Amino acid sequence: MQLDTALQLLRQSGHDLPEGTPGSDAWLQSLIDSLVDMSSRDALTGLANRRSFELALAREIDRVARAGEPALLLALDIDHFKSVNDTHGHASGDLVLKAVANALLDCVRPMDLVARVGGEEFAIVMPNCPAAFGEAVAERVRRRVEAMPVNIGLSQQIHVSVSIGGAFAPQWVRSSPALWIERADIQLYRAKAQGRNRVCLEPSAVSVVSAEEKALLFGISQFQDIE
């Protein structure tokens, strides 16, 4: 990548340009760090983007298979978001997305990863997460968003809600990101079908190991060192 192109990308994405003497080792390293951060972050909300989310999910699946610690994936969707854009405009929709993103960050631990994975779709990867704790966090997120006024300009506020689905990774079993996402999405669809603005989690105690996961049980981890 040409230097001018790299600087232009940073400007367009709203990132600060590197400080210091242009061309120096420290300046170039800062430029590289900014580009790496830009490639892993959603430009609007500052959350992890889908690429970072998928990498984190694969790492967590590997860790669960090795250590057996419980891990929860939450899939979230802003209810009736299309009507926000249609009624108030896309600029207001962007304000809603930013507000929800900040609310999610305020409700989780530093070790949890919050990502924007689609238009109005978010996900949270929660390592080392017992079932009771995960349910409490998911409900905390739902209540926080429901009670949060979003300022959209001209002294106007709106309220939104989120539907949340969640699934625990099968402990001691090598799963796959696609299978884990599918399980969380099933619960998200259930939350929407039951009226939205609610939490539906797959109980960790009754997680069913699929045929695909059984086939992966003795597979080699993509993160396992090759001797």
Q: Which residues does the annotation mark as catalytic?
A: 120
The single residue listed with the structure tokens 């207001």 is 92
**Which residues lie below 8 Å from residue 37, measured CB to CB, with a gap of 6+?**
15
Q: How far is the C-alpha of 61 from the C-alpha of 217, rounded, in Å?
A: 12
Residue 78 corresponds to which amino acid?
A: I
Reading the block at residue 169, the tokens are 């990774």
Q: How far is the C-alpha of 112 from the C-alpha of 94, rounded, in Å?
A: 23
Sign of the dihedral through C-alpha 127, 55, 47, 41: positive
Among candidate residues 156, 180, 147, the one with its CA nearest the CA of residue 166: 180
User: What string of DSSP letters covers 76-128?
Assistant: EEETTHHHHHHHH-HHHHHHHHHHHHHHHHHHS-TTSEEEE-SSSEEEEEESS
Tally of residues, the chain: 227
The percent of the chain in helix, strand and coil, each rounded to the nearest 5, is 50, 15, 35
